Amino acid sequence: MRTVLTADDVRRALTRIAHEIVERNQGIEGLAVVGLQRGGVWMAKELAGLLSAIDPEHDVPLGSLDVSFHRDDVGLRPIVPASVTDIAGSLDGRTIVLVDDVLFTGRTVRAALEALNEYGRPSAVQLAVLVDRGHRELPIRPDFVGKNLPTSRDELVVATADGVTIQ
């Protein structure tokens, strides 16, 4: 197992991403942050906090999304849904910042995009990930990336607030 990002690296990356989000969207009004379960939930919470710190005038709604029921491999492998999805209010007209820790094949994000449709029609969806490890199987690309990390398929990447490791 090797560490590719330390806790400090993670913190710095998230701070940079937060500023990029504010810059790209010219402020945080009309944004909502949604973390993908499981890995994106802690990161979404951090980002929401950082965004509020940058612009204390506005509130950024925070939610979490379980995509178990939208996966394209239903019935092919055991699926155990995580915590219940928590999205308050309609997403109509909002810009959603979808947050996940590791971007890999892109299938989870595809499922998330489909799931978001059930909550309304966002005006835009942007993707923020801590780590992009390559090996995309679908045409999905992140808007905000903490670190690009080339990996081989069978390696396991673990990302938390305490750091990112590969084993």
Q: Please, what is the minimum distance in Å from the beta carbon of residue 64 to other proteins?
A: 11
Q: Please, what is the minimum distance in Å from the beta carbon of residue 88 to other proteins?
A: 11
List all residues 6 or more positions away from 21 whose beta carbon is below 8 Å from its beta carbon: 28, 31, 47, 51, 97, 126, 128, 144
- Residue 32: φ, ψ to 5°: -145, 140
Nearer to other proteins, 118 or 162 (CB): 118
119 binds other proteins per the rule CB under 8 A = yes
- Which residues in 37-76 contact other proteins (CB under 8 A)? 66, 68-71, 74-76
Nearer to other proteins, 7 or 88 (CB): 88
Closest by Cα among 144, 141, 98 to 119? 98
Nearer to other proteins, 115 or 145 (CB): 115
79 binds other proteins per the rule CB under 8 A = yes
List all residues 6 or more positions away from 32 whose beta carbon is below 8 Å from its beta carbon: 60, 61, 62, 63, 91, 94, 95, 96, 97
| Residue whose pair of structure tokens reads 């905000």 in the numeric block | 144
Q: Where does this chain touch other proteins (CB under 8 A) — which range of 16-24, 41-49, 97-105, 111-119?
A: 111-119
Let me know: does 64 contact 44? Beta carbons within 8 Å: yes
- What is the spatial distance between Cα 156 and Cα 143, in angstroms, rounded to a whole number? 23
Q: Where does this chain touch other proteins (CB under 8 A) — which range of 17-25, 78-86, 128-136, 139-147?
A: 78-86
Q: Which residues bind other proteins (CB under 8 A)?
A: 66, 68-71, 74-81, 84-86, 90, 114-115, 117-120
